[in-house]
Amino acid sequence: MKTRMALGFLGVLALAHAPTWALAEQMTLRVLPYSRATFKTEALLETVIGNTSGPGVTGTVTGDPARLEGATGTIRVDLSTLRTGIERRDAQMRSQEFLNTEDEVDRYTTFELKGIELGAGIEPGKEVPAKISGTLTIKRRPIEITADARITYVKLTPEQLETQKRFGFTADNFRVRANFTTSFTNHGMQVPQVLILKLANEIQIEIDLTMARQ
């Protein structure tokens, strides 16, 4: 009898200290306007970096935090909002020859999430390494990629939520930082010569997403 009572007490104790979502259900996360996307490529004399943030990065992700390998979602980056710091260069990259952002389909880079492999269990306030897999589409040319990522879960207390909800945050929030590479030729583009310098074929992409549960 005492043994059964002790085991029962340990079970209750384990549940009390289990991760927040030990009994979690599917949740949908929305990308907040504090997110950013960066596209990087090398030229002979400089590194060309294009940034966009705010309304330039949108999307949702749906999944059960206890089983993220089944997570799905779509992230979109509006390429017409990319800025490198030189307007003439930006205009050339937006042209039909390259990103073709006048076209409503080509204007967006999309990433279709197909799954997340965690390097450790997710806990509030702890950054966890991960591999994110999915389909990256630029100019209607999709490729399969796996990105190195870091995921942080932020759980707000009721008191914290009261001060942060006006900024779009909810009780459950995530930050996802990922980086991966593709190339101009992967997506049917010639390697650009911007102004007088030819760029490298490789494109490095970094995303920094802030997401809140809907």
pLDDT in tens, 139-183: 999 999 999 999 999 999 999 999 999 999 999 999 999 999 999
Please identify which residue in the block is written with the tokens 């991960």. Answer: 130
Residue-range domains of the chain with CATH: 24-213 (2.40.128.110)
Q: What is the pLDDT along the chain (214 residues), one digit of tens a residue?
A: 443 433 333 333 333 344 445 446 789 999 999 999 999 999 888 899 999 999 999 999 999 887 888 899 999 999 999 999 999 989 989 999 899 999 999 999 999 999 999 999 888 999 999 999 999 999 999 999 999 999 999 999 999 999 999 999 999 999 999 999 999 999 999 888 766 578 899 999 999 999 999 9
Query: Which of left, alpha, beta for 125 (phi over 0: left; psi -120 to 50: alpha)?
Result: left
Q: Alpha-carbon dihedral of residues 5, 11, 14, 16, nearest 10 degrees?
A: -80
Report the candidate in 203, 184, 209 with the shortest Cα–Cα distance to residue 98.
Answer: 184
> Closest Cα partner for 198 from 48, 90, 55?
48
Question: What's the whole-model pTM score?
Answer: 0.85
Q: Where are the beta strands (DSSP E) in the chain?
A: 27-31, 36-42, 47-53, 57-64, 67-78, 108-118, 127-138, 141-155, 172-183, 193-194, 197-198, 202-213
